[in-house]
Chains A and B, each alone.
Chain A
Amino acid sequence: MGDKPADKKDVWQGTLALMVLKTLQSMGPLHGYGIARRIEQTSGDLLLVNYGTLYPALLKLEQEGYISSEWGFSDNNRKAKYYKLTRAGRKQLNEEEREWEQTTAILARFLAPGEERS
């Protein structure tokens, strides 16, 4: 990873799970490659995703029951494993989204320059 572009960030595990859940919510059932591409595109190519790291994360989410998987066919008729959100996953996503917003809001307040206390 020595030649990693300076402006691209590694995706860390916890956030990756949230991104996977969010992607599946907005895109519907999707295969691993699609999820990886989508995360990369949404980040405006600012995130460097080593696609391989995605699969253990998917497995962990599946073991926890937030997503489920089944084999299907892609647009160009290739066999692929499709992942979709479960009910528990949807709930988990809402919860994590809320937590994330809270965290960023708090941080934003700290970091906002020169803002007076009310």
Chain B
Amino acid sequence: MRRLRAWFSRLGAVFGRRRRDRELFAEMESHLQLHIEDNLRTGMTPQEARRQALLKLGGVEQTKENYRERRGLPLLEVFLQDLRFGARMLWKNPGFTATAVVTLALGIGVNTTIFSIAEAFLVHPLALPSLDRVIAVTNGLKRPVAPADYFDWKSQSHSFEHISAYRSGDMNLTGNGEPERVYGAAVSADFFATLSVEPSLGRAFSSGEDERGRDQVVVLSHGLWQRQFGADAAVLGKSVSIDGRPFTVIGVMDKSVEFPVPTDLWIPLALTPKEKIDRAGTSLHVVAQLKPGANLSQAQAEMALLAGHLSDAYPATNKDRQVQVMPLVEYVEGSITRAYTVMLLVIVGIVLLVACANVANLQFARATSRKSEIAVRTALGAGRSRIIRQLLTESVLLALLGGAASLLFAGSCLWLCVSGMPAYVMRLWAGFDKIRLDGWAFAFTFAAALGCGILAGILPALDTSKQEASDALRRGRGATESRGVQRLRSIFVTAQVAVALVLVVAAALLIKGFREMTGSADAYAPERVLTLAVNLPASHYAQPADRLVFYRKALDGLLTLPGVQSVAAFSCYPLSNNGTSWTYFQVEGRVASDERHSPWADTQNITPAYPRLMHVRLDAGRAFTDDDRENTQLVAIVNQKLASLYWPKESPLGKHIRIGAPKDSGPWLTVIGVAADVLYDWTSHVPAPTIYRPLTQASQAASLIGLRTSSDPASLEAAVRARIAGIDPELPAFDVKPLNVAIHESTVGLGYTGAMMGILGLIALAVAVVGIYGVMAYSVGERTKEFGLRMALGARPRDILWLAGRKGLIVSAVAFAVGFPSSIVCARLLASLIFGTSPGDPFVFVCVPLALLLAVIFAGYIPARRATRVDPMVALRYE
């Protein structure tokens, strides 16, 4: 307590030094006077009295110094002194300060940006209160779970406070104006208890409401409530229809609750008795809340044990079925999000290192011009550690300024990032709306700045403080850098140029790949195609025939709209990122032994006009026609990829394939055509084997419908909705948008990565150019005298240019010798990680290094040229 009080008192004394010094002086003075008077009284002479008093005190200055040390906090005072001095030095060198601050602001700024994004995606993508206690239970690798398994777990496990299941998907919501397509989750009654969340309005499901018959109640999400119900509290008790069944609204969830992403509403998961004992169909996602005291590994051990029991009891279905528990955060993370984010984190880290090297270089250059200042300080008694501390304080101050500026940069980057993302995509992306500069980001920025300040300052400080005072004083303004420092600086610059080369090549590959991919969509002329999605609910469209009637009416109706050239239904558009569905298939005469060896393909169920609509070329055979009906020969079209994989040497026409796993039995389909390859799912890198089937023979409830028009497709949106409503007023047509917009939305994440890499590459390039310029300008300035002398002796400007520029050329040559092979390795790495980059793109590998080389040579040329303009007389007069 007393210690703390004393400490605060000392902290206070750091300020108002002058007043306190005056007071101390007065006290010393009065002490001496009192003592002298006493001494005089004992009969000493005035001189002797004063001498004795001073002697007895033990020196006025020593006393004052001891007193001062006790009074304030010496370390802090020295620090403040350094800080003031450092600020003055920075203020006096605005060019140096601005360059260093901007370099660091960019370097730290991109780190803060990526850190904020990574934090949102990987650390708290969901705003749930007790996120660290909530886990997902899966059949390994995030695979869903069979209902019967779930019920066994629920009754037999002990690690969980709650364990609940859900499944989610698109649903049709009607009863409130226009029918709307929503994303809904069917959840067990204790689902909200598992997540520890409560509705902000009304109530959650009570137990027993997840039984058939009592399950027609619905909880709305905050977003849907605002969007569709005008945030009206009277919504409670209102009746709505979901997929044709009536439901009563009982609650509205809090705004923060968005799980499973991007849910609009929750209804009870009421499984039929038959579903409840289903052990084969894995359809449920299972989440659980750990009991207090239980941890993830205990839960994993218990679940593994349970899985073993189930495997013994039901070998037919549960043999080899793994159970894996994982934090919910990990469960909701996008499959490629982590790889992308970690890649960006690594790259921005490298950019920051490059920025640090640059600032270190600037400080080296400046330290040389400060040699005499440092020498004077040393001569006046400053110790080496004191000088190092002073220089480091300056460097850290510089970095903190950079850090402050970086927050502005990061803030605008994040703003661009969030505002540029289509709202539709943002909803699907767990954590995207959580991107912001929060306390963690500020702490990160501060730590990064501090680290940079020390990293960039330590070598220059160590080196500068090493010199002998007498040496530096004697040499005066002619002071030059030691050989070691010059080599170090050259290494820094070389590394910068090499890293810049690697980054710019990577960025160029990524951007070019992205452009090529989106450019490949131009073949489909997507800006003239309007797409819409429908999902026919089983309540109204139980039979394939019912669906076919709807499709026929819809396609015929849409074709009569003005300007429409062709209309077709299909499963998935090109360059989507989650729309394909795949299946095993068997080739007649070559049925695989088991699933692991079975061939697979993406499936597309289409109507005859599809090749015309999407400009898909048929390479052999014929297209589907209206004569391919339910009861005619079962037919299929395969793509080139599939044909070349399974009939490399013969024509696939007339061959037979069967949809399904080896042990399934299904009818054989006859291949009647071969279509050109189309990349339907861009995340799969290359076109997958694809089987097209006529919609008449492969009925589906969820379809896309496309219209090719001669005018702007967006202008048809309202008319299209009206046509669909004319056929079925309860059926929402959703995702009505031009195909180019849909493709943009599906690839925008990759575009972001490309843009980010582009920015990083540019920053690295700028930093490298500044680095080269700094080193060259310094070395030219240092040799002014020498150049002057040489010119006086008859050297031509060309010789001087060579002499001055040689260093820059050597640095560039070494940097390219290191950077070029590295960029090739890096490109291969990128290609394995990110779709759209071709590691052997000759254009990129020639043009980018050339451009970089030009930039670097130009940066070095300016100072070298200055050397040729040296006036011999002026240069020599300096001596």
- Cβ of A76 within 8 Å of any chain B Cβ, yes or no, is yes
A60 in contact with B70 (CB, 8 Å): yes
Across the interface, B30 reaches (CB within 8 A) one of A31, A37, A56, namely A31
Bound complex: CA of A51 vs CA of B2, how far in Å? 25
Q: How far is the CA of A53 from the CA of B69 in the complex (A)?
A: 12
Query: Contact check: which of B6, B38, B69 meets A64 at CB < 8 Å?
Result: B6
Cβ–Cβ contact B57 & A74, under 8 A: no
Say which one of A19-27, A78-86, A97-105, A106-114 lies at the interface with B.
Answer: A78-86
Q: Is B31 an interface residue (CB 8 A)?
A: yes
Residues 26 to 75 of chain A near chain B (Cβ within 8 Å): 31-34, 37, 50-53, 55-56, 59-60, 62-65, 74
Distance of A95 Cα from B665 Cα, bound (Å): 96
Tell me the bound Cα distance from A34 to B35 in angstroms: 9
A55 to chain B, nearest CB (A): 5
Least CB distance from B331 to A in Å reads 57
Compute how far the CA of A59 lies from the CA of B71 in the bound complex, rounded to whole angstroms.
7
Contact segment of B60-68, B263-271, B472-480, B626-634 = B60-68
Taken together as a complex, chains A and B put the C-alpha atoms of A76 and B5 apart, in Å, by 36
* Chain B min CB distance to A31 (Å): 7
B330 in the interface (beta carbon within 8 A) = no
Label chain B's interface by main secondary structure. helix
Residues in chain A within 8 A of chain B (CB atoms): 31-34, 37, 50-53, 55-56, 59-60, 62-65, 74, 76, 78-81
A-B CB contact pairs (8 Å), 17 listed: A31-B30, A31-B34, A33-B30, A33-B31, A37-B38, A51-B56, A52-B58, A52-B59, A52-B63, A56-B69, A59-B67, A59-B70, A64-B3, A65-B2, A78-B37, A81-B26, A81-B30
Closest to A49 in B: B56
Distance, CA A62 to CA B24, complexed state (A): 14
Which of A51, A52, A60, A79 is within 8 Å of B6, CB to CB? A60
Residues of B within 8 A of A32 (CB): 27, 31
**Contact, CB under 8 Å: B58 / A79:** no
* Residue from A33, A50, A53 whose CB has the most chain B CB atoms within 10 Å: A33
Question: Is B66 a contact of A56 with CB atoms below 8 Å?
Answer: yes
Using A33-B34, A65-B5, A80-B34 as known contacts, list a sample of 18 further A-B pairs with CB atoms less than 8 Å apart, ordered by residue number in A: A32-B31, A33-B35, A34-B34, A51-B57, A51-B58, A52-B59, A55-B24, A59-B71, A63-B5, A63-B9, A64-B2, A64-B5, A64-B6, A74-B34, A78-B30, A78-B33, A78-B34, A80-B30
Chain A residues with CB under 8 Å of B27's CB are 32, 55, 80-81
Q: Is the CB of A79 within 8 A of B70?
A: no
Q: B10 interface residue, CB < 8 Å from A?
A: yes
Whether B37 and A50, one on each chain, are in contact in the complex, defined by CB atoms closer than 8 angstroms, is: no
Task: Tell me the nearest residue of chain A to B62, going by C-beta.
Answer: A52
Residues of chain A within 8 A of B37, CB atoms compared: 76, 78
Which A residues lie within 8 Å of B6 (CB)? 60, 63-64
Smallest CB gap from B60: residue in A: A52
10 shortest interchain CB distances as A-B pairs:
A52-B63, A52-B58, A63-B6, A50-B58, A56-B70, A63-B9, A33-B34, A80-B30, A64-B2, A51-B57
Cβ-defined partner of B67 (8 Å) among A31, A56, A76, A81: A56
CA of A63 to CA of B71, assembled, Å:
8
CB atoms of A50 and B71 under 8 A apart: no
CA distance A63 to B9 in the complex (A): 6
Q: Closest chain A residue to B27 by CB distance?
A: A81
B874 to chain A, nearest CB (A): 58
On whether the beta carbons of A53 and B34 are closer than 8 Å, the reply is no
Please report the C-alpha to C-alpha distance between residue A63 and residue B12 in the assembled complex, in whole angstroms: 11
* Minimum distance in angstroms from A86 CB to a CB of chain B: 12
Residues of the B chain whose Cβ atoms lie less than 8 Å from the Cβ of A74: 34
Q: A56–B72 Cα gap in the complex (Å)?
A: 11
Q: CB-CB < 8 A to B62: which residues of A?
A: 52
Q: Assess whether B56 is in contact with A50, with CB atoms less than 8 Å apart.
A: yes
Q: Which residue of B lies closest to A51 (CB)?
A: B57
Of chain A, the residue at the smallest CB distance from B32 is A33
CB distance from A102 to the nearest CB of B (A): 21
